[in-house]
Chains A and B, each alone.
Chain A
Amino acid sequence: MAITLNINGQDHEIDVDPQMPLLWAIREKAGLTGTKFGCGIAQCGACTVIVDGNAVRSCNTPVATAVGKAIRTIEGVSANNDHPVQLAWQELTVPQCGYCQSGQIMSAVALLENSPSPSDNEIDKAMAGNICRCGTYPRIRAAIHRAAELTK
């Protein structure tokens, strides 16, 4: 089925099974590989993208449900790798292997857009769906606070 996805402000005409998860449409059809596959069951958050302002797990979101909505991926966070969250991530050297970090950053961006100065509890809640096997959680927590400062 031919559908149109609006990703990072750009329309992509793609021909897919409407049940295909949004993740694979973004990666294989739109060719944006920053969004990662981790578990396929919305348990790890590596596939997190922002749809109409909300962080969603694209690995189990049927592509048809995203038609007509504004989809943001890691590639759309900033043109020059300088969004406050990205700057904070670089300043505090958050990523290690880095594989989960697109999803972590998208969850953090969505959190800060909804709550500009989140408490530790809010951070825990918003980030609980994103697993990092390198254990960068302490740095992620600090970097979210730092990004909040940079945004002020």
Chain B
Amino acid sequence: MNQHNLTRRNFLKISTSVAGGLMIGFNLPTTAEAAAGDATEINAWLTIDPDNIVSIVTPQTEMGQGAWTSIPMMVAEELDIPWESVRNVRADANRHVNNGDLYTTTSTGGSTTVSKRHPYMMQAGASARERLRVAASKRWNVPLDKVVAKQGILTAEHESSGKLQGTYGEFAADAAAVTLEAEPAIKAYGDWWLLGKEVKRLDVPAKTNGSAIYPIDVSVDGMVYAAVQACPVPEGKLVSYDFEAVKGMPGVIAAVELKQVKDIAAFTDLRSAVAIVAESWYQAKNALAVMPIVWDFGRGATISFDSQTAEALSLLATPGTLLKDEEGNIGKGMDKGVNHDAVPDLIASASKLVTGEVYSRPFEAHATMMPPCAVVDVKADRVDVWTFTQDIARSLSEVADQLGRDTKTVFLHQTYLGGGFGGGYNMDVHRQAAAISESIGRPVKVIRSREEDIAQDSQRPPVWGTYKAALGDDGLPIALVTHFVGEEKMPVFSQRGVANMPYLVPNRRHEYGAVKNHIPIGYHRAPGANSNGFIVEQMADELAQAGGWDPLDWRIKMTEGIEPWQRVLLAMKEKSGWTTDMGNGEGMGLAIVESHGTIAGCVANVSVSRRGQIYIDKLQYFINSGYVINPLGAHEQAESSAVWELGHAMFGGLQLREGRIVNTNFDSYTLMRMPDTPPVIEVNLEMSQDQWWGGLGEPTGPPTPPAVANAIFYATGTRIRTTPLSKAEL
């Protein structure tokens, strides 16, 4: 996820380099076609047509998180145009890639579309507004400071001719030729007229009548279908296949070997696989299912979740590597008087020592409702691509790389995504489609079966963790050591949400390690924090109990003076009906985790039946995310990430045996369904401080499983240290 800040100077260079140019956009979506007509491009971000309709470019992908609404909102705020006049237009990935990253980045993840990208998006709107004002000032021959731009209308009082008025559309062509001497500053909080209001997402209507187009819905003349099979043990290689055995089956056209270039494929490299191409996807899938294939499973064949767990337990039995940040200091966010050197002695000489047991979380898949899919049409002079991606520029470049083509000849068309959750980053489905289309000389649609999707996904990694703490006379910890073990490909995930826990333990030490792993790993909604929160926030409850503290009072005490956390915790105390003593098989539990610049607290009410069945009766969220630009979108995302992570915690868990994921469809990889969804999910955003930009696409996930597990403890006296919770013996 490449991020870089756009300086004012940098921005000027970008916007003037395309000033006056016409919309080039080769984009299939209807909004883009409409905008390409008589509209004038003011800068790369927006066009205004003669009817004063403004089309705003969205470089980020829309996967339900609201990017195609929040980006236009940020631009429209500064441009000052009625929201009803705003349309969204998908960014032209080719233009972005071949014009020095025109839109800064097309990456869509990490809850950053608003939190990190607002400065230059708002700048694009402000710049266009100022150029419209300059254009009006020149045509009317009035001083610039007399020209007002508001709600799509330019007005000025002229000394002799009185009131002058015109639409933005009437001045768009003039404005496109204006070069500003200096870029205007963007508005500060408090001056907003649109941001902060509830706005319904623009993509909703197309998603209630089947008209929203996803990559799987794209058709090209002459297109055929492909089903693919990669080695069921990741990192393994194809040895041979017998196409003769299936080539007589109905509709079958060809078999194509997908050759892995590197010895061990990186995330987005083509992996060793074989595809069957047919007239229908159903025919391709049927033939592939019976074609004899020989694999070399490679080093992964002996690795299982049990073997990884054994390795993790052995690593946890001895000290791990001390966590340090890039500057060599102890982990980031740990500058609150932490002294890691003193920890071993304080633990060794503790009068009251708390020794945690081992907690763990398993692998989880993205299992987006749309299985990975891509349509690629390779022609002699150009390549067209529709694919499952959370970064259109990166995927365009990957296709160019796969085919050895110039990026100028590759055109990637943004569609809706049937879910993302991080799964659209480490994705090679468009490489597969490109290789197949090139090989057979026809456009092809690759659809992964659900089994192939889950078997080949870049999974959320597992984690194992434990801790020790020495308590002082007041029952509060004076020294704490955590030890978390992740896996070797992205061990950093085992530290997110751990090293930056806010609890003011005067002496802290965070250690880590990693187990051998061949399973591809990827970003998975609130990466790291999603699994680690489960451990850290049950640890917090255990430490509170050991010291004789109420778990909520303990957290309030341990974050004393940290205002953003205090607001959330005090709201939980005032409003949640907090008690640890419900009786009757019922319990309340809480947890609080910071991720993506947002602090999210969860209070869970559960009841456990005599037969050990867990019911989640209510979830309450208390959130401090800084600015909230669309409360409706904030609520939607808070509910969504809560249900997402509750599903994994209650039911999920991939099983890894003999090197392969064995539960690869929804009959065996069980997720949240309607009857399991808590009847009440409340989202409280009032404690958000208007002081910083936090993300909201992910943060309610991490506190949910530990709040539920803590509630189960108060309901039953049993502490559950791994997931899925529904499989625990209660």
Contact residues of A with B, CB < 8 Å? 17, 20-21, 24, 28, 31-41, 43-44, 46, 73-75, 77-78, 81, 86, 89-90, 93-102, 105, 120, 123-125, 127-128, 130-141
B369 touches A99 (CB 8 A): yes
- Pull 13 A–B residue pairs with CB atoms less than 8 Å apart, ordered by A: A34-B210, A41-B667, A81-B205, A95-B203, A96-B636, A97-B417, A99-B214, A100-B369, A131-B369, A131-B671, A138-B677, A139-B636, A139-B639
Residues 190-218 of B at the A interface (beta carbon under 8 Å): 200-201, 203-214, 216-217
Which of B250, B417, B640, B674 is the one whose CB lies under 8 Å from A141? B674
- Does B281 belong to the interface (CB within 8 Å)? yes
B64 touches A75 (CB 8 A): no
Q: Determine the distance from Cα of A130 to Cα of B350 in the docked complex, in whole angstroms.
A: 54
Stretch from B118-126, B151-159, B641-649 that touches the partner? B641-649
B204 touches A24 (CB 8 A): no
A75 touches B371 (CB 8 A): no
A143 to chain B, nearest CB (A): 10
Instruction: Identify the closest chain A residue to B206 (Cβ).
Output: A98
A31 contacts across to B, CB distance below 8 A: 219
- Does B679 belong to the interface (CB within 8 Å)? yes
Q: Determine the distance from Cα of A94 to Cα of B642 in the docked complex, in whole angstroms.
A: 16
A93 and B369 in contact (CB under 8 A), knowing A33-B213, A125-B675, A138-B677? no
Q: Determine the distance from Cα of A35 to Cα of B449 in the docked complex, in whole angstroms.
A: 16
- Does B367 belong to the interface (CB within 8 Å)? yes
A36 touches B63 (CB 8 A): no
Which of A73, A89, A133 is the one whose CB lies under 8 Å from B369? A133
B14 to chain A, nearest CB (A): 31
- Does B665 belong to the interface (CB within 8 Å)? yes
Q: Determine the distance from Cα of A135 to Cα of B674 in the docked complex, in whole angstroms.
A: 9
B201 contacts across to A, CB distance below 8 A: 93
Instruction: Identify the closest chain A residue to B210 (Cβ).
Output: A34
B644 touches A44 (CB 8 A): no
B207 touches A124 (CB 8 A): no
Instruction: Identify the closest chain B residue to A75 (Cβ).
Output: B210
A89 contacts across to B, CB distance below 8 A: 204, 208
B640 touches A95 (CB 8 A): no
Q: Determine the distance from Cα of A124 to Cα of B282 in the docked complex, in whole angstroms.
A: 32
- Does B687 belong to the interface (CB within 8 Å)? no
Q: Determine the distance from Cα of A37 to Cα of B646 in the docked complex, in whole angstroms.
A: 25
B665 touches A73 (CB 8 A): no
B369 touches A21 (CB 8 A): no
A86 contacts across to B, CB distance below 8 A: 208-209
A96 contacts across to B, CB distance below 8 A: 63-65, 636, 640
| B interface SS class | loop
Q: Determine the distance from Cα of A98 to Cα of B632 in the docked complex, in whole angstroms.
A: 17
A46 and B209 in contact (CB under 8 A), knowing A97-B416, A135-B640? no
- Does B681 belong to the interface (CB within 8 Å)? yes
| A interface SS class | loop
Which of B211, B419, B642 is the one whose CB lies under 8 Å from A97? B419
B64 contacts across to A, CB distance below 8 A: 95-98, 134
Q: Determine the distance from Cα of A24 to Cα of B671 in the docked complex, in whole angstroms.
A: 25
B417 contacts across to A, CB distance below 8 A: 97
B206 contacts across to A, CB distance below 8 A: 98
B643 contacts across to A, CB distance below 8 A: 135, 137-138
A75 touches B421 (CB 8 A): no
Q: Determine the distance from Cα of A139 to Cα of B635 in the docked complex, in whole angstroms.
A: 11
B213 touches A128 (CB 8 A): no
- Does B370 belong to the interface (CB within 8 Å)? yes
Apart from the given pairs A131-B673, A134-B64, 20 other A-B contacts in the complex at a CB distance below 8 Å = A17-B282, A24-B281, A28-B225, A28-B282, A34-B211, A38-B370, A40-B449, A41-B450, A41-B666, A90-B205, A96-B63, A96-B65, A97-B370, A98-B416, A131-B666, A133-B367, A133-B419, A135-B642, A137-B674, A137-B677
A98 touches B418 (CB 8 A): yes
Which of B63, B214, B283, B666 is the one whose CB lies under 8 Å from A44? B666
User: How many chain B residues touch the partner (CB < 8 A)?
Assistant: 62
A74 touches B210 (CB 8 A): yes
- Does B368 belong to the interface (CB within 8 Å)? yes
A95 and B282 in contact (CB under 8 A), knowing A127-B674, A139-B639? no
A25 to chain B, nearest CB (A): 9
B674 touches A105 (CB 8 A): no
Instruction: Identify the closest chain A residue to B680 (Cβ).
Output: A138
Instruction: Identify the closest chain A residue to B369 (Cβ).
Output: A99
- Does B672 belong to the interface (CB within 8 Å)? yes
B275 to chain A, nearest CB (A): 17
Instruction: Identify the closest chain B residue to A74 (Cβ).
Output: B210
B461 contacts across to A, CB distance below 8 A: none
B421 contacts across to A, CB distance below 8 A: 133
Which of A34, A95, A128, A133 is the one whose CB lies under 8 Å from B644? A133
- Does B280 belong to the interface (CB within 8 Å)? yes
- Return the 8 tightest CB-CB contacts between A and B, nearest first: A34-B210, A135-B643, A96-B64, A99-B418, A98-B207, A97-B64, A74-B210, A95-B207
- Does B447 belong to the interface (CB within 8 Å)? yes
B280 contacts across to A, CB distance below 8 A: 20, 24, 28
Q: Determine the distance from Cα of A36 to Cα of B520 in the docked complex, in whole angstroms.
A: 27
Instruction: Identify the closest chain A residue to B62 (Cβ).
Output: A97
Q: Determine the distance from Cα of A116 to Cα of B369 in the docked complex, in whole angstroms.
A: 29
B665 touches A39 (CB 8 A): yes
- Which of B207, B250, B371, B420 has the most chain A CB atoms closer than 10 A to its own CB? B207
B556 to chain A, nearest CB (A): 29
Q: Determine the distance from Cα of A140 to Cα of B636 in the docked complex, in whole angstroms.
A: 12
B209 touches A97 (CB 8 A): no
Instruction: Identify the closest chain B residue to A144 (Cβ).
Output: B674
A128 touches B210 (CB 8 A): no
- Which of A37, A93, A97 has the most chain B CB atoms closer than 10 A to its own CB? A97
B674 contacts across to A, CB distance below 8 A: 123-124, 127-128, 130, 137, 140-141
Q: Determine the distance from Cα of A100 to Cα of B416 in the docked complex, in whole angstroms.
A: 13
B682 to chain A, nearest CB (A): 10
B418 contacts across to A, CB distance below 8 A: 36, 97-100
Residues 11-68 of B at the A interface (beta carbon under 8 Å): 63-65
Instruction: Identify the closest chain A residue to B671 (Cβ).
Output: A131
Q: Determine the distance from Cα of A105 to Cα of B201 in the docked complex, in whole angstroms.
A: 18
A-contact bits for B681-700, CB 8 A (1 contact / 0 none): 10000000000000000000
A-contact bits for B275-291, CB 8 A (1 contact / 0 none): 00000111101000000
B672 touches A137 (CB 8 A): yes
Q: Determine the distance from Cα of A129 to Cα of B79 in the docked complex, in whole angstroms.
A: 45
Q: Determine the distance from Cα of A125 to Cα of B216 in the docked complex, in whole angstroms.
A: 29
B419 touches A35 (CB 8 A): no
A-contact bits for B459-476, CB 8 A (1 contact / 0 none): 000000000000000000
B416 to chain A, nearest CB (A): 7
Which of B204, B371, B449, B644 is the one whose CB lies under 8 Å from A134? B644
Q: Determine the distance from Cα of A123 to Cα of B673 in the docked complex, in whole angstroms.
A: 12
A35 contacts across to B, CB distance below 8 A: 210
